Every structure is written in structure tokens, then in C-alpha cells.
């Protein structure tokens, strides 16, 4: 059932088996499995996550390669709702472990916000990441190309960039190393720092050895039309010809609500998990981009399967067996 500020009561008086923080590919897959295991769950989704921005989901089995990420999410949401999953648009502010239960505080509504607290036995953290994009005074100019011909994922979109002139946009010297993976797909790489970092002599030499020019002035604007990049103009007036680009500026991790849970195993901003996506906290699971591993829709979907199944097994094994009561005592 879709929840909103108007009908929260029913959810406040309930202990869910699982709260799923994040309604992207991983969270929705988990919700579908949980519901089919007969477990109750609440999905809290802030909206506009990483898969929402994918213009074409080019490598997910079963969907045409022109399917936008938002279609996957919409289909998954309908699927989950048809199975009785509760779904709330909101932002998870804090998860607190209260012993047997998690208390999850959610911000609902941008104006006159409510801050309800929901309770569950298990928590699935599937809030993912969002890629940093170069900040320009006119962000619409960035959005006109990002997800179309300006990519953020080499694994997803290296194929789309093959043998084209490409800009690689970084915000640290170490991210420049992405050039030496991107060159599997294309050797025509111009590296742009957008004025955000300095570059040492060893890296300069390595770039020169590969023939990859380095541009250190800030970007003024992306050029092209109909989402198709034709080049990049820098603040110093330089124009760089490029029909595609890769942004390698790192990501923001949506994990602040977990920082109060003690003794979690972090690797940087990623959670470390076992083969069932279980964190070091026995009732907390992490999926998809939030956990260590490949940031791919297919991986997140499988992670949802794994976490839901592990939780079901545990709840089922702790439950009393269901007997065929009217048969008991009669000869079998």
C-alpha cells in the first residue's frame, strides 16, 4: 500500500519484519522476495536515485537495451505493491538499534515535514550512491548530457564510448587512472580536472606517454545538441572536441542514517557484507552500490534476492511449525 503523510497511522502501530531503506533496484527486488515469503515490509524511497537517472539500461537481461531506469523502477514498484508491500516516499534520517527492533526515523514531505518513527526486526540498507557531477553555474547544461553521451559508469557505458573522442572529467589525481581502463574502449582521451586538483609530474609523464592531453582549466560549458555532446569549452577559452565523456568524480553515499549503529564494518563508505549481504550486524543487510562490489543493476537485484532469503530462513526457522490440525490424531 502506498503510504503518505495522510495515512501513516497504520504503519506506526506495526512492527514490520523488514524495513527496506531505498526503493531502487536492490530494495524493490528485496521487497518482492520478502512479500512472496509472506513477510511484511516497508520500503522508504527518497526518489531520484541512481537508476532513476539512467536513460538506457543497456545490460540488464530481459529488458530491451533502450529501457530507461525509471521504467524498471516503475514496474518494480507496481510489482511490489501488488504483493502487499508498504511504500513511502521519504528520507531515512536515522536508524537506531533498540535491541530486538530497529527504530527508523523518516522525514516525510519537504515543507511542514513529519518525522515518523517505524519499527522492524530487520533492516535492509539499499540507499545506494549518487555520482558527483561537475558543478557549473548552469547545471541544466550538465543534465542535458549526463546519462546520454556523458556517462558515469565505465562498465555500463564503455561500449557506447568505443573509439570516440572522449573527455574524462576527474576531481582528484588518483581518478586520472580511470584513463588507463577507459583506453580499453577508446584511446582518444582528453583528461579534464575542472580546476579541482593538482597533478604531479609522474602522472603528467604517464599521460604524455599515452598521448592523452591534460586540461586543468575549469569547464565553462558542454556543447552539442539533443543530448549529444560535440565538445567541451573551458573557462580559458579552449575548445575540446569530444562526442562522449566519462565523469569519474566519485560518488556520494546515502549512508548517514547508519553511522550511529556501532561496530559496522566499513571499507571507506561501503559496507562489508557476507555472501548473503549481511553486515557485521546480524539483522542489518546492505545491498547494491552501498556494499562492496560491482555497481550494477543485476548485482543489486540479486542482492535483494539473497538478503530477503536469508531473513526468511531465519524467521521461518524460529517460527513454530504449522501443523495440519484437523488431521492430528486421525490415522495418516
- Comparing CB distances to a copy of itself, the nearer of 27 and 90 is 27
- Comparing CB distances to a copy of itself, the nearer of 4 and 292 is 292
Query: Interhelix angle for 25-36 vs 69-82, to 10°?
Result: 20
Q: Count other C-beta atoms under 10 Å from residue 204's C-beta.
A: 13
Exposure of 239 in the CB half-sphere (CA atoms within 13 A): 7
Contact 278, 125 (CB under 8 A): no
Least CB distance from residue 324 to a copy of itself, whole Å? 3
Sign for the pseudo-dihedral over CA of 140, 141, 144, 145: negative
Least CB distance from residue 94 to a copy of itself, whole Å? 28
- Comparing CB distances to a copy of itself, the nearer of 29 and 127 is 29
- Comparing CB distances to a copy of itself, the nearer of 116 and 293 is 293
Least CB distance from residue 202 to a copy of itself, whole Å? 14
Least CB distance from residue 325 to a copy of itself, whole Å? 6
21: helix, strand or coil = strand
- Comparing CB distances to a copy of itself, the nearer of 261 and 307 is 307
Residues making contact with a copy of itself (CB under 8 A): 25, 28-29, 32-33, 35-38, 58-65, 67, 71-72, 75-76, 79, 82-83, 155, 158-159, 162, 180-181, 183-189, 204, 207-214, 275, 294, 296, 298-299, 301-306, 309, 316, 319, 321-328, 332
Bridge partners of residue 270, in order along the sequence: 267
Q: What is the largest CA-CA distance in the chain?
A: 91
Least CB distance from residue 4 to a copy of itself, whole Å? 24
Least CB distance from residue 191 to a copy of itself, whole Å? 9
CA distances from 112 to 5, 107, 115 (A): 10, 10, 10
DSSP 237: S
Least CB distance from residue 139 to a copy of itself, whole Å? 29
Contact 156, 65 (CB under 8 A): no
* Separation CA 50–CA 247 (nearest Å): 14
- Comparing CB distances to a copy of itself, the nearer of 106 and 190 is 190
Least CB distance from residue 305 to a copy of itself, whole Å? 5
* 133 contact partners, CB below 8 Å, separation of at least 6: 139, 142, 146, 152, 247, 249
Sign for the pseudo-dihedral over CA of 278, 281, 286, 289: negative
Cell readout for 96 is 537506531
- Comparing CB distances to a copy of itself, the nearer of 141 and 177 is 177
* Separation CA 41–CA 58 (nearest Å): 30
* Separation CA 29–CA 25 (nearest Å): 6
Bridge partners of residue 45, in order along the sequence: 89
- Comparing CB distances to a copy of itself, the nearer of 35 and 170 is 35
- Comparing CB distances to a copy of itself, the nearer of 106 and 286 is 286
Least CB distance from residue 313 to a copy of itself, whole Å? 9
Amino acid at each position: 500500500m502506498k503510504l503518505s503523510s495522510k495515512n501513516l497511522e497504520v504503519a506506526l502501530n506495526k512492527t514490520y519484519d523488514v524495513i527496506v531503506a531505498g526503493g531502487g533496484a536492490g530494495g524493490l527486488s528485496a521487497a518482492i522476495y520478502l512479500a512472496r515469503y509472506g513477510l511484511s515490509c516497508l520500503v522508504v524511497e527518497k526518489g531520484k536515485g541512481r537508476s532513476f537517472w539512467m536513460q538506457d539500461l543497456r545490460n540488464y537481461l530481459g529488458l530491451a537495451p533502450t529501457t530507461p531506469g525509471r521504467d524498471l523502477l516503475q514496474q518494480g514498484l507496481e510489482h511490489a505493491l501488488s504483493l502487499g508491500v508498504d511504500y513511502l516516499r521519504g528520507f531515512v534520517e536515522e536508524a537506531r538499534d533498540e535491541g530486538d527492533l530497529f527504530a527508523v526515523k523518516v522525514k516525510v514531505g519537504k515543507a511542514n515535514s513529519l518525522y515518523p518513527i517505524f519499527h522492524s526486526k530487520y533492516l535492509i540498507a539499499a540507499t545506494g550512491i549518487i555520482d558527483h557531477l561537475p558543478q557549473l553555474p548552469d547545471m541544466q547544461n550538465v543534465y542535458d548530457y549526463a546519462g546520454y553521451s556523458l556517462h558515469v559508469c565505465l562498465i555500463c557505458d564503455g561500449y557506447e564510448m568505443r573509439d570516440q573522442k572522449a573527455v574524462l572529467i576527474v576531481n582528484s589525481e588518483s581518478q586520472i587512472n580511470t584513463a588507463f581502463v577507459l583506453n580499453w574502449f577508446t584511446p582518444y582521451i582528453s583528461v579534464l580536472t575542472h580546476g579541482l586538483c593538482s597533478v604531479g609530474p609522474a602522472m603528467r609523464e604517464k599521460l604524455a606517454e599515452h598521448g592523452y592531453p591534460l586540461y586543468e582549466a575549469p569547464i565553462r560549458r558542454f556543447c552539442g545538441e539533443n543530448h549529444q555532446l560535440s565538445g567541451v569549452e573551458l573557462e580559458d577559452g579552449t575548445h575540446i572536441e569530444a562526442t562522449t565523456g566519462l565523469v569519474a568524480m566519485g560518488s556520494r553515499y546515502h549512508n548517514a542514517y547508519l553511522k550511529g549503529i556501532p561496530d559496522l564494518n566499513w571499507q571507506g563508505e561501503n559496507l562489508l557484507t557476507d555472501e548473503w549481504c549481511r553486515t557485521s550486524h546480524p539483522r542489518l543487510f546492505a545491498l547494491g552500490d552501498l556494499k562492496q562490489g560491482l555497481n550494477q543493476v543485476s548485482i543489486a537485484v540479486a542482492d535483494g534476492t539473497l538478503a530477503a532469503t536469508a531473513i526468511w530462513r531465519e524467521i521461518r526457522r524460529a517460527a513454530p511449525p504449522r501443523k495440519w490440525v484437523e488431521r492430528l490424531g486421525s490415522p495418516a
